[in-house]
Each structure stands twice: as structure tokens, then as C-alpha cells.
Amino acid sequence: MNGRVDTIHIAPESGADMESRDGIEAVSGRGLRGDHYLSDTGTYSESARDVNRELSLIESEALDAVARDDGVSVGPDEH
């Protein structure tokens, strides 16, 4: 199986709009440099301390299925 990353988005602060990045540093066991979860200030940071939640990968096919099956269009910065 092959895959590719089409878009990268981070939120620098909890509740902030997502910001697109062309590239980003991934910090092992922590998350993405510049994202609020890396600094433990995300909404679910406290509940995620013992759970691996450093990064979310969402298949474009899953977004396509939600649009097709449920009529909900979700952009890459709206998850």
C-alpha cells in the first residue's frame, strides 16, 4: 500500500483556526512542531497523556464518503 500526505494543518493555539503548512517537523512521541498539542495545550491534551494521539491522519476517501453518504462536505482544515 502506498500513500501520500496532501495537506498539513496545525492550530498554534487551542481554538485557533487551522493553518496550512508546506512541511513541518514531527517530534517523536509528542506531535507536530508549532501545534498546540505539542505544548500540551490542546482540548484533549490531559486525556491523551497515556494515549498516542500526536497526529491525525484522515483519508481523503473517508472525507469523500462522508460527503457522498451524508451530504457533509469537510475541508482538510475542518476536522
- What is the reported pLDDT for 73? 93
Q: How many CA atoms lie within 13 A of 65 on its CB side?
A: 5
Q: b/e per residue, 34-65, with b = 16+ CB within 10 A?
A: ebbbbeeebeebeeeeeeeebeeeeeeeebee
pLDDT tens by residue, the chain, 79 residues: 788 899 999 999 888 899 999 999 999 888 899 998 887 776 666 655 566 667 888 888 999 999 999 999 988 888 7
pTM: 0.73
Q: Which three cell numbers stand for residue 31?
A: 506531535
What DSSP character marks residue 18?
A: P
- What is the reported pLDDT for 9? 94
